[in-house]
Amino acid sequence: MTKNPVKPARPTRLILDLSDAVLRVERMVLTGLMSLLVLLILINVVSRYSGQPIYWIDEASVFCVVWLCFVGASLMTRLRLDFAVSLLTDKLGSKSVRLVKLLAGFAVLVFGLSMLAMCWIWLDPVGIARYGFDAKEYAANSFNFLYTEKTQTLEWPTWLLQSILPIFSATLSLHATANLIEDLGLQPRREHPGLEISNAEVVT
């Protein structure tokens, strides 16, 4: 008696699974960043009130907010909570609305991929690897000072904090692809347990 061979998962399903996994990570990162931001603000208030302000907390709070915005924007894209102007689509038929949504989703994907390509050029991993990851020598020859710059008060490498840009580009592209797969009917639309606000219509 022969067993039926296990059918491999479709690429579209794998993309949705990967998008859902990234979504769960983003949710945990958002929770951590929001907790960190509240903690930094409380420490800042207490330290200033006691007359001993901690000078680097302001900069840390700014970078925390920046990461919050990018991670949140990526998550909102997968949950379809991104901003939309429905003045035109409200007057169109169902087929036209579906076409407009597909075009909008495709535009988001193109934006994400374009941003990812620009980040590759900006970070130039091949270029700095060519100089043995020597940031000073690379900057002297390429005039790209990204890897030699540090933040003003934290004195952290600038490239490390700005790495959110390529991360956001990659996750945005992934989520946009997942949304397009669902909109094209290649896979059924998924629910996201634990993230009750899953569409813009329930937002008041």
Give residue limits of the domains in the chain.
11-193
Count of other CB atoms within 10 angstroms of residue 109: 19
Q: Which residues of the chain have pLDDT under 50?
A: 1, 6, 198-204
Residue with tokens 């009130």: 49
Cα separation, 66 vs 115, whole angstroms: 17
In this prediction, residue 54 carries a pLDDT of 87
Distance CA 196, CA 69 (A): 20
**DSSP code of 91?**
G
- Tell me if 190 sits within 8 A of 184, measured CB to CB: no
> What pLDDT does residue 6 have?
46
pTM > 0.75: yes or no: yes
- Digit-coded pLDDT (tens) for 121-165: 999 999 999 999 998 999 998 888 999 999 988 889 999 999 999
pLDDT of residue 197: 52
